[in-house]
Chain A
Amino acid sequence: MSTILIIEQVLNGLQFGVMLFLMAAGLTLIFGVMGLINLAHGSLYMIGAFAAATVAGATGSFLLALAAAMAAAALTGALVEMAVIRRLYARDHLDQVLATFALILIFSEGTRWIFGSLPLYLNIPSWLAGPVALPGGIQYPLYRLALIAVGLLVWLGLWWLIERTRLGIQIRAGENDREMIAALGIDISKLYTLIFALGAALAGLAGALVGTIQSVQVGMGEPVLILAFVVIVIGGIGSIKGAFVGALLVGLTSTLGGIFLPELFKLFTDPATAQSAGASLASMSIYILMSLVLIWRPTGLFGARA
């Protein structure tokens, strides 16, 4: 296996990882501040992709589509937070899991009701299409490079938001001591709606960006949701830094596992069996990774509280 191929695969893992980070960042923020476990986060991802496909189809502009995706997801997020989610903050995780599971059913079938069962069209704009040559003779799709860049920018942006702004202080206060923010005279319910909408917007952005090179269809959010949960659990729930490290770990494990495990198995058995067995193990690899991390550190890599 050539070095070029390995570098390319690492880039692929990185790209997958940063997109997972967009999903995981919202989840982990919402859990960290409000203590809420939100299974419907994948639905916001789907809403972003559908909004982007609709707007791109109508206007032909990719940037407008991205803006629409974030706006639609943020708006849906804010409405759902005010109508349903805020009644769940004081409940146990069990109620939260069930209520947000119910939201998945409503969003998925509702989307199918509006858009029908066939997948929608959404494609890379011409100015981001095609491969570019990187140093060392690597041909890599420009769009995927752009995804890596967007992911890193969002990470920096979130870091700035949390460490350097007034809202960030409130968020950090909320994570540490909920009574304190009330004592500081901050309107908690407004803060919560805002954070939820922020997380939703990031999920919507991820949905639009990833939907562009995948299939925009009902149910696209659930597989990503599960991966995002794996990410935040590995990283430690509530920690943005943990979500970032976890996302990269999961992205790289998943991508590289799929390539190298079959190769590894070929050393012991015939190619067809090796392919199949390697692929099976690869699809389990991130769950194995997560279990190992949790057995080693029961609250994740950067998690503080249980």
Chain B
Amino acid sequence: MIRERYLNLGVLALLLALALLARLADQSFTITVLTKVVILALAAAGLNIALGLGGLVSLGHAVFFGLGGYAMGILAFHAQNFAPLELGPLTIAGSKSMPVIWLTAIAVSALAALVIGLLSLRTSGVYFIMITLAFGQMFYYFSISWAAYGGEDGLSIYIRNGFPGLNMLDPIQFFGICFAVLCLVLLFSDRLARSPFGLALNAARQVPVRVETVGLSPMRLKLLAFVISGAITGLAGALYADLNRFVSPTMFSWQLSGELMVLVILGGVGRLIGPVVGAAIFVALEQLLGGLTAFWQIWLGVILLLIVLFARGGVVGLIAPKGVGHD
């Protein structure tokens, strides 16, 4: 256990150090790449709560990532065009403030996760994988044809949104804020896993009957985990949209759901730092292999395959074995 804690802190420290080094060397693109790692790690950390803690294999987490993205896109779009958003009797002016956007992203994704979770958790196993995929497809097709917000063209936001007291246009400051959010979420995940709720959830995943006999509903535990998970991935979506200053239906695509899953498994399911390690490796492969060959995705496929076949428990599992692999 101690070893894993050192590893967790080491990985985070390394990320921060790399970003600061890049700042000193005036390599702003490296900071952008590291910010991408942090945000993808955040999205995967969200998924990891459903996947690792709750045992819920969701192939539809792009829904929350996309909703977070569109929460940012729509609010900023109305603010930048000075065209208030009319929602029946309610008029919203739009917003370019990150805290407002984040709260909206979290609220919208949590609500969506509640509805999707309520419906999907009636099923299990492959059916659960597929029904979450189906919800993802519904959002995807809807967003493609929703002309008011650009449809397939997506929405461009010309200037990154602001955070009180900081200059978000400076890459290192934006990295800093994303990094801080990631650390907070990881701390929260850690606490959550050790809390009575986390322990009960773990039990519900392994022996549902035992949980029921002590008067807890496995369904409710899982639903709560799914909602928390969706909310965090939604927050990551809002940040990702801000990184690119752009949202589009690809954020809802099933490939993105698949990629998020890849990040978690690559790093190690249910391991606190797994999503961070997974995201770092994924982005590094994308950047490095891409420079070597036009067909780099073949090699990405081969590496993923080798990890699944021969490194159960992901990369974190290789470095800091838990004694038991993930189930």
Contacts and interface: CB of A to CB of B under 8 A. Distances in A.
Are chains A and B touching directly in their complex (CB below 8 angstroms)?
A: yes
B122 A291 contact: no
A230 interface: yes
A283 B141 contact: yes
Contacts of B103: none
B197 to A, nearest CB: 22
Interface string A199-218: 00000000000000000000
B135 A291 contact: yes
Given A37-B129, A290-B130, A112 B305 contact: no
B125 A284 contact: no
Interface in B269-327: 269, 295-298, 300-302, 304-305, 308-309, 312, 327
B301 A102 contact: yes
Among B59, B265, B301, chain A packs the most CB atoms within 10 A around the CB of B301
B119 to A, nearest CB: 6
Given A109-B297, A283-B141, A102 B265 contact: no
Question: Chain A interface residue count: which class?
Answer: 35 or more
Interface in B256-270: 258, 261-262, 265, 269
B237 to A, nearest CB: 20
Contacts of A37: 126, 129
B138 interface: yes
A98 B262 contact: yes
Contacts of B308: 88, 91, 95, 98-99, 102
Contacts of A105: 297-298, 300-301, 304
A299 interface: yes
Contacts of A112: 295
Interface of B: 51, 57, 59, 119-120, 122-127, 129-131, 133-135, 137-138, 141-142, 144-147, 254, 258, 261-262, 265, 269, 295-298, 300-302, 304-305, 308-309, 312, 327
20 contacts: A37-B126, A93-B126, A93-B129, A97-B258, A98-B262, A98-B304, A102-B301, A105-B297, A105-B304, A106-B305, A109-B295, A233-B130, A279-B145, A284-B141, A288-B138, A294-B119, A298-B124, A299-B123, A303-B127, A306-B127
